[in-house]
Copies of this chain bind each other. A is one copy, B any other.
Amino acid sequence: MGEENPYRFDVQPLLIVISGPAGAGKDALIQRTKERGQPFHFVVTATDRPQRPGEVHGRDYYFVTREEFAAMLASDELLEHAVVYGQNKGIPKQQVREALASGQNSIMRIDVQGAATIHRLVPDAVLIFLTASSEEELERRLISRGGDSEEQIRRRIVMAREEMKRLPEFDYVVVNHDCALDQAVDDVLAIIRAEQRRVEPRVVRI
């Protein structure tokens, strides 16, 4: 024949970014997706903060020294990084590259600010904004998860309002309704499935 096979539809691996305000349920959504046995690479953040009891290196975080972190930063080996309470966090590019090279979809959670950075660096990443269904629900969740003072919760809600304004920078919005986490997971899985059926596929380069 000599011609290209017109029936060859390659499926490209994706980089899926789960973002949204604190209290929207990003961690719970990623955790549930994991539990449902999806063959994704779940991106692990590198940090130079000390390992806490119960945390597993390579699962919860990549625990590195301050020097190692600085070296990754210096060699441009971090997709995104942030300083949180004087401790560094960042996404090593290499693991995402490796996952994509093996044909695996990579999924990661990041705050709204960080998602904007990913969008700039990897325009073909799929950006999903996860949100509670109302401000009241967001507040209830922030209170029930504990750990924040009343003042901190107030600040998080004001910040969530600001973050909602950045919704137009995202591709998809998924509402995490109370008691319906699996529906939000189904939404994310549908988005991934649909994206991999696009006639013009996203081609992620890192």
Contact = CB atoms under 8 A, between A and B. Distances in A.
Nearest to A134: B7
* Chain A interface bracket (under 10, 10 to 19, 20 to 34, 35 or more): 20 to 34
Interface string A180-206: 000000110111011101111000000
A199 B167 contact: yes
Contact of A161 (B6, B135, B189): B6
A76 interface: no
Contacts of A172: 194, 197-199
A131 interface: yes
Among A161, A170, A194, the most chain B Cβ lie within 10 Å of the Cβ of A194
A187 B193 CA distance: 7
A172 B199 CA distance: 5
Determine the main DSSP class of A at the interface with B.
mixed
A37 interface: no
B7 A131 contact: yes
Interface in A149-170: 161, 164-165, 167-168, 170
Nearest to A7: B134
Contacts of A7: 131-135, 164
Contacts of A173: 9, 197-199
A77 interface: no
Contacts of A191: 190, 193-194, 197
Contacts of A42: none
Given A6-B167, A7-B133, A187-B193, 15 more contacts: A6-B161, A6-B164, A6-B165, A9-B131, A167-B199, A168-B199, A171-B198, A172-B194, A187-B194, A190-B191, A190-B193, A190-B194, A191-B193, A194-B194, A194-B195
Interface of A: 6-7, 9, 129, 131-135, 161, 164-165, 167-168, 170-175, 186-187, 189-191, 193-195, 197-200
